Chains A and B, each alone.
Chain A
Amino acid sequence: MTVAWAFDAILAATVLAVACWTMAIRDTFAAVVGFVAYGLLLALVWVRLTAPDVALTEAAIGGGLTGVLLLGAAARLRPAQAAAAAETPGLALRLVTGVGCALISAALAAAVLLLPDPAPSLAPAAVADLPAIGVGNPITGVLMAYRALDTLLETVVLLLGLIGVWSLTPDSFWGGVPGPQHPARTDDALVFLARLLPPVGIVIGVYLLWVGKDEPGGAFQGGALLAAMWLLAMMAGLAKAPPTSRRWLRLVLVAGPLVFLAIGLAGLALAGAFLAYPEAYAKPLIMIIEVAKMLSVAATLGLLVAGSPERTPSR
């Protein structure tokens, strides 16, 4: 019974308790608070599993952005909450759902517990080829070099998600400003926070991008942090949400996937295969892609949480 075992036991018990409570509670606001708490605890779990990259992403996205997204959804659903609570599914449906969930949990548990020990792993091979690419972080190597196609498709999928959210706009507001109006007040504590925090957040976001080549970090985590800072400024009324019809906004949104695609196609000409990097230029090219990706991810995530346009732009 070592200290590490005790720590992990407390952590696992807390995560399970918070998850069960979040599912059981009826009030949506309380459930979202529980969900954000769950995200923060999961970041601790990832750190204990020695995956700091994933912990960074979980903290930024699960702890912050998803929570705020759910808060917005809960606020929009509040008028209908009474009606939704009144309709309870029948006993048969609940039994079937319960059995289905139990089966899935059992399958997942079996898959994890029956893993061969030691588990077959490609980690040594991934690390062995890193000097050729020039980055020191094996996660970045996998994301940007070995499986760059997956990362390119993921950036496009994120953009498609945003287009999906925008497609819910009523016709009269198309091209309008997302989110409710937040009045700016100059003597408020929130405005004070939104004045001091974003500069620090931007520095740390760029730091995460830069340090991601050799240490845990990367463009996605940095971009998520930038999006959170932008949303904070919007919530305090210090920054106005841009109308979705602005050309510069749309350019920033597509810059990431476009740069990635362009470098990939250039690789066809210069290095013989799509998304192959010429030998000596791998690291600078990866950095260019990461910078563009960070800006796009920041803009996309920020707009995803801001929601579909609700107001006409005031010209």
Chain B
Amino acid sequence: MAEFLLAAAAVVLAMVALGLVRILLGPSAVDRMMAAQLLGTGGIAVLLLLAQATGMSATIDVALTLALVAAFASAAFVKSAPGPDGPKAADEA
């Protein structure tokens, strides 16, 4: 079972690594932010699977922290994305 969970974690990690190609290609800022978001969610899934596979339950706390931090980082990205959005263009809903 631990081997299977570790293998599943490896698969999800490989998927996330592939998704990082989207950060590379772009072409717009949104695509890069989306790839970072996938990395956050995938990383959380990998951490949860690792926690169960290795028996280190503290890894679930790392996943909790990562969930909060990924949300915060994504919000900051959106606020500072180059282009029409950002702090100045904040008046239209």
Q: By the criterion CB–CB under 8 Å, are A18 and B20 in contact?
A: yes
Residue from B47, B71, B80 in contact with A44 in the complex, judged by beta carbons closer than 8 Å: B47
Instruction: Say whether, besides A71-B80, A72-B80, A216-B61, A33 and B68 are in contact (CB < 8 Å).
Output: no
Give the chain A neighbours of B86 by CB distance below 8 A.
Answer: 75
Give the chain A neighbours of B14 by CB distance below 8 A.
Answer: 10
Whether a CB of chain B sits under 8 angstroms from the CB of A195 is no
Residue from A30, A180, A201 in contact with B32 in the complex, judged by beta carbons closer than 8 Å: A30
Q: By the criterion CB–CB under 8 Å, are B65 and A188 in contact?
A: no
Q: In the assembly, what is the distance between CA of A208 and CA of B62, in Å?
A: 10
Q: By the criterion CB–CB under 8 Å, are A228 and B68 in contact?
A: yes
Whether a CB of chain B sits under 8 angstroms from the CB of A37 is yes
Where chain B touches its partner, the secondary structure class is helix
Per-residue CB contact flags for chain B residues 52-93 toward chain A (1 = under 8 Å, else 0) read 001011110110111011111101111111100011001101
Give the chain A neighbours of B68 by CB distance below 8 A.
Answer: 197, 200-201, 204, 225, 228-229
Q: By the criterion CB–CB under 8 Å, are B75 and A190 in contact?
A: yes
Interface residue tally for chain B (C-beta within 8 Å): 53
**Nearest 4 pairs of A and B residues by beta carbon:** A64-B69, A52-B58, A216-B58, A7-B10
Q: Name A's B-contacting residues (CB within 8 A).
A: 3-4, 6-7, 10-11, 13-14, 17-18, 21, 29-30, 33-34, 36-37, 40-41, 43-44, 47-48, 50, 52, 55-56, 59-60, 63-64, 67-68, 71-72, 74-75, 78, 180-183, 185, 187-188, 190, 193-194, 197, 200-201, 204, 208, 211, 215-217, 221, 225, 228-229, 231-232, 235-236
Q: Name B's A-contacting residues (CB within 8 A).
A: 3, 6-7, 9-10, 13-14, 16-17, 20, 23-24, 26, 29, 32-33, 35-36, 39-40, 43, 46-47, 50, 54, 56-59, 61-62, 64-66, 68-73, 75-82, 86-87, 90-91, 93
